[in-house]
């Protein structure tokens, strides 16, 4: 079996695949057209979120048997077409949960205490003691939208810090939410009651722009809004209308990455907004877990072929 890796991955993944008898070609950043030219010689394609793994790319892999996403989300893959062609689709859903959840908690602290602004002012020579009065997390209500692995991890951390937990999910997760003292509620109720709203949903036709001109007005004035899931679940135009009345916004994802259009510059430059460049899973520990989990999943898939 031969694997083509077209994005930057941990050396641990490469070594694990080689130890499992896979011939590996490592070409991080390989352009789309070059991927299409090269893929005919490989049975396995390993990728991240940079390229859309479209019908066109899939068809260029005459011998393609496995699509392996170095990460969690599969929204950049034409899943239906790949399945129709009998191609296995693999990811590593467990690896980044802790790292993303920790980032979300960090966002809450930063927004509640105006840390970005305060640190920037001190670096610029000011000493703004007494200028910013923050908020504690303790006793506040966090609304977790999407109670999967990352949503659960975020909820556990928030609960340990004294936050009340509300959760929304399309499936019944009452028992899991109640296990940490929380409550499963409809989305509309969660948005109305929460002091902090954190999105943890996959991108699907149902979640596309789920935060929009109908749902944003339900959020109370002064609430914090966090998205570390997928950029496209938030309608950026609608978000922009509500920035002034929200307490703060933290985004690890945008509808356009990297941002080029003016609307994203407006969001990023707003004083209440913190944006990071999709770094949720970018810790050494998450990368090691990801490499191990994905390598094991690939080797198991190879055995089943």
Does 278 qualify as catalytic in the annotation? yes
The reply to whether 289 belongs to the active site is: no
pTM here is 0.91
Q: Point out the catalytic residue in the list 43, 278, 289, 293.
A: 278
Q: Which of 230, 232, 255, 289 is catalytic?
A: 230
Domains of the chain, with CATH numbers?
Answer: 2-93+284-304 (3.40.50.720), 97-275 (3.40.50.720)
265 counts as catalytic: no
Q: Which of 11, 56, 126, 257 is catalytic?
A: 257
Q: Would you write out the chain's pLDDT as a tens digit for each of its 305 residues? A: 999 999 999 999 999 999 999 999 999 999 999 999 999 999 999 999 899 999 999 999 999 999 999 999 898 999 999 999 999 999 999 999 999 999 999 999 999 999 999 999 999 999 999 999 999 999 999 999 999 999 999 999 999 999 999 999 999 999 999 999 999 999 999 999 999 999 999 999 999 999 999 999 999 999 999 999 999 999 999 999 999 999 999 999 999 999 999 999 999 999 999 999 999 999 999 999 999 999 999 999 999 98
- According to DSSP H, which parts of the chain are helical? 11-19, 32-38, 55-60, 79-84, 97-112, 115-123, 149-160, 174-178, 187-193, 236-242, 262-269, 284-304
């Amino acid at each position: 079996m031969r694997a083509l890796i077209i994005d930057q991955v941990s050396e641990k993944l490469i070594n694990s695949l080689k130890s499992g008898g896979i011939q590996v070609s490592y070409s991080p950043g390989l352009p789309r057209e070059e991927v299409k030219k090269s893929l005919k010689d490989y049975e396995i394609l390993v990728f991240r979120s940079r390229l859309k793994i479209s019908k066109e790319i899939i068809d260029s892999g005459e011998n393609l048997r496995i699509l392996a996403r170095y990460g969690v989300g599969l929204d950049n893959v034409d899943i239906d077409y790949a399945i129709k062609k009998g191609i296995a689709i693999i990811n590593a859903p467990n690896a980044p949960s802790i790292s993303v959840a920790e980032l979300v908690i960090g966002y809450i602290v930063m927004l509640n205490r105006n840390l970005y602004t305060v640190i920037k002012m001190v670096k610029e020579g000011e000493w703004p003691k007494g200028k910013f009065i923050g908020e504690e997390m303790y006793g506040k209500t966090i609304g977790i939208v999407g109670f999967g692995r990352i949503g659960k991890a975020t909820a556990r951390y928030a609960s340990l810090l004294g936050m009340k937990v509300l959760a929304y999910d399309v499936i019944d997760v009452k028992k899991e939410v109640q296990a940490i003292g929380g409550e499963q509620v409809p989305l509309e109720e969660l948005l109305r009651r929460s002091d902090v709203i954190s999105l943890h949903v996959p991108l699907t036709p149902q979640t596309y722009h789920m935060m929009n001109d109908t749902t944003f007005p339900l959020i109370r004035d002064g609430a914090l809004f966090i998205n570390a899931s997928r950029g496209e679940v938030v309608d950026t135009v609608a978000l922009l209308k509500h920035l002034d009345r929200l307490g703060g916004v933290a985004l690890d994802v945008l509808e356009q990455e990297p941002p080029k259009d003016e609307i994203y510059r407006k969001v990023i430059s707003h004083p209440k907004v913190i944006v990071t460049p999709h770094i949720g899973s970018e810790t050494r520990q998450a990368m090691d877990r990801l490499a191990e989990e994905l390598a094991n999943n690939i080797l198991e898939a190879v055995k089943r072929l």
